[in-house]
Amino acid sequence: MPLLDIKNLTLEIETTNGWVKALDKISLTIAPKEIRALVGESGSGKSLIVKAIVGAINEGWRLTADRLNWGGKDLLMLSDEERRQITREDIAVIFQNPTHSLDPTATLGEQLEEAIPDHLIGKGWYWERRQRRNEIVASQLHKVGIKEHDACVSSYPHQIPDDICQKFMIAMALASEPKLLIADDPTKGMETTTKIQILKLLSRLNETKELSILFVSHDLLAIASLAETMTVLYCGQTVESGRLMQLRRRPLHPYTKALLDSAPSFRKDLLPKTELNALEGTIPTLQNLPAGCRLGPRCPRAQKECVKMPEVRYIQNHYYSCHFPLHRYK
Ligand SMILES: Nc1ncnc2c1ncn2[C@@H]1O[C@H](COP(=O)(O)OP(=O)(O)OP(=O)(O)O)[C@@H](O)[C@H]1O
Ligand code: SF4
Ligand SMILES: [Mg+2]
């Protein structure tokens, strides 16, 4: 059974043009120990999916799903407290803008200590428990590469640079030893050495602690080094999903192909300054969504049928949603 099982998740947002589907029938699953990448250009709805999973969407938006299950439990049927308990104990999230998700009135040390669950501290006199807590704080910060940890724990969020803040959020998310880590663009803006260090840490936790990860990113090189499976999103719709190797070798959806071709690291035959082969145009705004397949206006293979939304089809766990896929299976 998957840990996280999402089927046909739809999120409607009210805009100046009325209600629109910012997420339209999104499906994805994460099995124990799986690392799944969620990829798509800016505005495709990645962060909205993260927020929908942890129940952090704006009041008044309409969220429906055939399934939004955690370990077999329907998250939409749980009380707020039951849902909070799951996000406290089992699912940790690194939101996209770390500085916004930290409490500006508490030091980083106080916030990290609070994130450590009691069972990791164990029993004992209060000074023993405090010492244990300090040890865990130091070790978590060390793991993510924060060396001056004394200065870090006594600082307030606005006093530290963004990259340290990003690393701190990762330390805080991992402190509760979650089953699933949802990381929304966790390596954004990091210099290469730090990025490699963080990716190695995530990979090690996946191996040793069986941590499942939903890795939301634009960084295809990071994705290639970490994830086994990938879900590709375009404008609030899941366009293709499957094993990363399979998608790289034989993408079926024109958008996946354009996305992969636009990444030099994925194309060994590209010379360093070759022009990237991305689709022309930009992702539509929510106020101007085309009917049917939302890639239509930018798609080189679009035909009349594309004004109807394509059904999701699959072959050997490779899902795609396109009337005219790049390959036909017999
Ligand atoms: N609070 C909000 N109110 C109205 N529209 C929103 C809100 N948050 C997101 N949207 C819209 O929903 C769509 C998806 O946004 P989202 O932030 O999920 O994109 P994303 O894939 O995470 O992009 P990025 O890669 O830039 O982080 C966009 O069109 C965005 O403008
Ligand atoms: S359904 Fe049509 S418009 Fe959409 S990706 Fe396929 S060919 Fe392109
Ligand atoms: Mg985002």
Q: Where are the domains of the chain?
A: 4-90+178-320, 105-177
Q: Ligand 2 mean position to 21 CA, how many Å?
A: 19
List of residues 6+ apart from 85 with CB closer than 8 A? none
Count Cβ atoms within 10 A of the Cβ of residue 296 and give its class: 0-12 exposed, 13-18 middle, 19 or more buried.
middle
DSSP codes, 125-184? -HHHHHHHHHHHHHHHHHHTT---HHHHHTS-GGGS-HHHHHHHHHHHHHTT--SEEEEE
180 vs 167: CA distance, rounded Å:
18
> Which pTM was predicted?
0.92
By most ligand atoms within 8 Å of CB, the mutation choice from 240, 294, 299 for ligand 2 is 299
- CB atoms under 10 Å from CB of 9, counted, come to 23
Which CATH superfamily does the domain covering 4-90+178-320 fall into? P-loop containing nucleotide triphosphate hydrolases (3.40.50.300)
List of residues 6+ apart from 256 with CB closer than 8 A? 232, 239, 240, 247
List of residues 6+ apart from 28 with CB closer than 8 A? 4, 6, 36, 38, 49, 231, 238, 241
Tens place of pLDDT per residue across the chain (330 aa): 899 999 999 999 998 889 999 999 999 999 999 999 999 989 999 999 999 999 999 999 999 999 999 999 999 999 989 998 898 889 999 988 877 888 999 999 999 999 998 888 888 898 899 999 999 999 999 988 898 889 999 999 999 988 888 889 999 999 989 999 999 999 887 888 888 988 999 999 999 989 999 999 988 889 999 999 999 999 999 999 999 999 999 999 999 999 998 876 665 555 554 544 568 888 999 999 999 999 999 999 999 999 999 999 998 889 999 999 998 765
For 152, how many CA atoms within 13 A lie in the half-sphere containing its CB? 26
Q: Kindly give the number of the ligand 2 atom that is closest to the alpha carbon of 239.
A: 5
DSSP codes, 92-113? EEE-SSHHHHS-TTS-HHHHHH
Helices (H) and strands (E) in the chain, counts: 12, 13
Chain-centre distance for alpha carbon 20: 23
Does the C-beta of 286 come closer than 6 Å to ligand 1? Answer: yes
pLDDT at position 328 is: 74
Strand partners, 241: 231, 319
14 vs 222: CA distance, rounded Å:
35
pLDDT at position 276 is: 45
Cβ–Cβ under 8 Å, residues 93 and 50: yes
172 vs 110: CA distance, rounded Å:
11
Cβ–Cβ under 8 Å, residues 265 and 224: yes
| Residues 197-232 pLDDT 10s | 889 999 999 999 899 999 999 888 899 999 999 999
List of residues 6+ apart from 135 with CB closer than 8 A? none
89 vs 102: CA distance, rounded Å:
18
Does the C-beta of 283 come closer than 6 Å to ligand 1? Answer: no
Q: Kindly give the number of the ligand 2 atom that is closest to the alpha carbon of 293.
A: 4
Q: Kindly give the number of the ligand 2 atom that is closest to the alpha carbon of 303.
A: 2
The residue whose C-alpha atom lies closest to atom 4 belonging to ligand 2 is 293
101 vs 12: CA distance, rounded Å:
24
